[in-house]
Structure 1
């Protein structure tokens, strides 16, 4: 494989509490464990995986803005509750025009009604919801496949 792909993993509010927070819904893996496992797989896939977590909406927006300058090629985002409330995260993702997947550990469509609407789902390249931490790995693999296909067709 040629150059490393640059992928950014963003985690939103309360995900820093994974492992202890509502374990029947979110499991017992910590965010640190999920990121470590995802980075290990990223390394094998020739991906430079950057990670960022914040409970502050404006910090996530700023990181999304910054991703353009960092030459990020794909974003994996678990916006947490901001999926259901944040127009500013939506606008930031639209502004930078970097493809992204929306990830949720729980199945947001089988929970409270307010969780079934996400402000970013309709502009995402895909949604992975309800598969626990495996969703991060699937998003990583699929984003790499998309980048490989894009590069293959752009090289012709």
Structure 2
């Protein structure tokens, strides 16, 4: 069975509590459950990981390389806009990377309009809440095939 790694970044453990205007009331556990359900439909295993520590995220990406995951869906949160360390770790991977965001990052503060991952990602989906994740998973599976 193909494996898709879902990477959740900084502050995502607070989904459902923080800024419901931007992020809604859905929790990270609920997002992961919906991703696993869709994964079953698409016949892929979805492995989720969340951390608030950049080094831990880099190490999980390195582990993904060694595990030969088939694709990565990532919402790195604020790290999207400045973490060249995460970008360099992701660039080690030779699989499709799909960047997702709950909110429309292009309709928010100017610093959120730029992604350091854009050049290495297959594509970016933003502004659709939970659906950003589900569309991202579908896109990742499509890119594998």
TM-score of the two chains, using structure 1 as the length reference: 0.90
Aligned pair partner of 2:136 in 136, 139, 144: 139
Q: Aligned-pair distance for 1:85?
A: 1.5
After the TM superposition, which parts of structure 1 deviate over 4 Å for at least 4 consecutive aligned residues?
none
Q: Which runs of 5+ in 2 are unaligned?
A: none
d(CA) in 2 for partners of 1:99, 1:92: 14
User: 2-side partners of 1:112 and 1:73: how far apart?
Assistant: 33
For 2:69 and 2:92, the matched residues in 1 are separated by: 14
Counterpart position of 2:73: 76
Consecutive unaligned residues of structure 1, counting only runs of 5 or more, are: 149-156
Instruction: Report the 3-state secondary structure (helix = DSSP H, G, I; strand = E; otherwise coil) of the residue aligned with 1:72.
Output: coil
Secondary structure in 2 matching 1:16: helix
Which of 110, 113, 131 is the equivalent residue of 2:107?
110
Please tell me the root mean square deviation across aligned C-alpha atoms, in Å: 0.8
| Equivalent of residue 99 in structure 1, options 96, 100, 105 | 96
Cα deviation, residue 20, structure 1: 0.8
Cα deviations across residues 13-70 of structure 1 (Å, max 9, x unaligned)?
A: 0010000100011000001001101101101211111000000001111111110111
For residues 1-156 of structure 1, what are the structure 2 equivalents within 5 Å?
4-148=1-145
Q: Secondary structure at the match of 1:121?
A: coil
- How many residues align structurally? 145
